[in-house]
Amino acid sequence: MTAQDKISRYSPEFDVAVRGDTITADRYITREWMELENKHLWPKVWHLGGVLADLEEEGDFIRHNFGKESVVMVKQADGSVKAFYNTCPHRGNRLVLGDVGSAPRLTCGYHGWQFDPDGTLVHVQDPDDFAGGNPCGKVTLSELRCDTWGPFVFWCMDDDVAPLHEWLWPYTERLAGYKLDNWVRVFNVSADCDFNWKIIRDNFNESYHLPTIHPELATFINDGLPTTVFEMYENGHNAMWMIGHQATSRKDYVSGDVPPGLYEAAEAWGIDPKDYRGRTADIREAVIKAKRERGADAGYDYSSMTDQQLVDYFHCTLFPNLTITMSPEQCQILRTEPHPTDPEKCVFQHWCLYPPNAKMPEVLTPVGMAPLRHDAIARHSTYGDGVSVGYVADQDLSIGTTQQQGLNSRGFKGCLLPGQEKRVQRFHEKLNDMVLGHPTKARE
């Protein structure tokens, strides 16, 4: 791809030129690419490790397994959070085996070595049997960088990576109006999948698939290219603004009755959809007005949100593997992480956070209603076993295995992309620069 399709709207302020590197199949299927990612990519980015709601008191901890690594984030006495590699300095045994927990000391289950929350060794068996004397107070767990943003905890393996709040740009600014700090993670699910982690990343870097994979969204999200704005940033992140509370412009949903989805969205704010027959596009402005007038009575704080944020969908993709999809009543986290050893497998994670609302004891999650409390739905499964990771997410994952199979074909020569998939092209060129250290040959 060397030219931008003129019907795709790329922000003139936030656009990045692409070279047209061939998106090769080896990056999805070979152990060589996987090892290069482990060496050159994953240490060089910030990783979302968990939520602060799991770290309320000193000694509370979160474990995050990532590939072959495992990281433990621990609440400190001063209220800060520290992150450590989950390995005992004695002989390498993993210290923490559960995802969340609390303990005054981290204790190795092999020989009983104990560490304070700040990572300092405070107890060993037979302390006088060491050539250098008692190791307590001298030995510490191996520490990583750790920081927080909103309700989230992040960690990073490399000291040279930009500080978290700088690395997150521009989302610290763009998402400030949602006031995410006290939002509640209600939905926390994950699944083992039979495809490379980048397949779903490609999927979240484009909206080309919406009419075919998610046709039901078209009745209340306008996925038409003239109305969707794409942004790409030099740091590798990108974004997509999609008009919400308005049906797609790809079909005529304006001249007739208000379609399902948009109908219910209007009713939820006391708007009679029948009054908008033949002018369904006007519902968006009516919802903005209703939210401004009645939002507080419904238990929401919309005071710092723009009109656009009240009704539209902001799809933020953080390089390389994290997506945040924002609406005023829900924050979705969508992420794929590499399998520890198999390049043709990954782990998919799906979280949904909701603003606290005393007038709403239940919220609508991707699998139905659930209590508005921390991790009301939390589970891990294997994709294809019949356990949903969310209706729309199920649709996204449905193409993963067949695409992985197709990428193994001798007949695949590299991707052929339209202009609206420029973000996919940019993603892989950023990968080439970091993982390979050079571009790949442009597709002829």
Q: Distance between CA atoms of 351 and 324, rounded to whole angstroms?
A: 10
Q: What is the pLDDT of residues 164-189, one digit of tens each?
A: 999 999 999 999 999 999 999 999 99
- pLDDT at site 439: 84
Are 69 and 200 found together in one domain? Answer: no
> Domain boundary residue among 127, 160, 193?
160
- Of the two residues 105 and 444, the one the predictor is more confident about is 105
Overall residue count recorded for the chain in this entry: 444
Could you give the dihedral angle defined by the CA atoms of residues 18, 202, 368 and 243, in that order, rounded to the nearest 10 degrees?
A: 20
Tell me if 325 is assigned to some domain: yes
Tell me if 273 is assigned to some domain: no
- pLDDT at site 201: 97
pLDDT of residue 443 exceeding 70? no
pLDDT of residue 5 exceeding 60? no
Q: Distance between CA atoms of 37 and 328, rounded to whole angstroms?
A: 35
- pLDDT at site 161: 97
Burial category of 359 from C-beta neighbours within 10 Å (exposed 0-12, middle 13-18, buried 19 and up): exposed
Contacts with 22 (C-beta within 8 Å, 6 or more apart), sequence order: 413, 414, 415, 440, 441, 442, 443
Q: What is the pLDDT of residues 113-158, one digit of tens each?
A: 999 999 999 999 999 999 999 999 999 999 999 999 999 999 999 9
Are 83 and 225 found together in one domain? Answer: no
Are 377 and 240 found together in one domain? Answer: yes
Q: What is the pLDDT of residues 372-401, one digit of tens each?
A: 999 999 999 999 999 999 999 999 999 999
Are 77 and 51 found together in one domain? Answer: yes
Contacts with 296 (C-beta within 8 Å, 6 or more apart), sequence order: 302
Burial category of 212 from C-beta neighbours within 10 Å (exposed 0-12, middle 13-18, buried 19 and up): exposed
Contacts with 100 (C-beta within 8 Å, 6 or more apart), sequence order: 50, 54, 60, 61, 62, 63
At 396, is the secondary structure helix, strand, or coil? helix
User: What's the domain count of the chain?
Assistant: 2
Determine how many CB atoms are found less than 10 A away from the CB of residue 156.
24
Are 64 and 150 found together in one domain? Answer: yes
pLDDT of residue 1 exceeding 50? no
Are 225 and 361 found together in one domain? Answer: yes
Tell me if 122 is assigned to some domain: yes
Q: For 405-427, what is the mean pLDDT? A: 94
Tell me if 375 is assigned to some domain: yes
DSSP for 234-256, please give it: TTS-EEEEEEESS--TTS--SSS
CA-based nearest residue to 104, from 96, 90, 114: 114
Are 105 and 37 found together in one domain? Answer: no
The CATH number of the domain holding residue 86 is 2.102.10.10
Tell me if 382 is assigned to some domain: yes
Q: For 331-344, what is the mean pLDDT? A: 98
pLDDT band at residue 6 using 50, 70 and 90 as cut-offs: low
The CATH number of the domain holding residue 358 is 3.90.380.10
Tell me if 306 is assigned to some domain: no
Are 327 and 219 found together in one domain? Answer: yes
pLDDT band at residue 8 using 50, 70 and 90 as cut-offs: low
Are 33 and 56 found together in one domain? Answer: no
- Owning domain of residue 90: 46-160
pLDDT band at residue 2 using 50, 70 and 90 as cut-offs: very low
Provide the edge-to-edge strand list for the sheet that holds 81-85: 47-51, 152-156, 143-149, 81-85, 69-75, 60-66, 100-102
Least confident of 77-91, 202-216, 352-366: 202-216
Q: Checking DSSP bridges between strand 377-382 and strand 184-193, what pairing results, if any?
A: parallel
> Domain boundary residue among 160, 187, 219?
160
> Domain boundary residue among 160, 192, 208?
160
Are 327 and 422 found together in one domain? Answer: yes
Are 186 and 127 found together in one domain? Answer: no
Are 320 and 376 found together in one domain? Answer: yes
Q: For 255-277, what is the mean pLDDT? A: 95
- pLDDT at site 438: 86
- pLDDT at site 359: 95
Q: What mean pLDDT value characterizes the chain?
A: 95
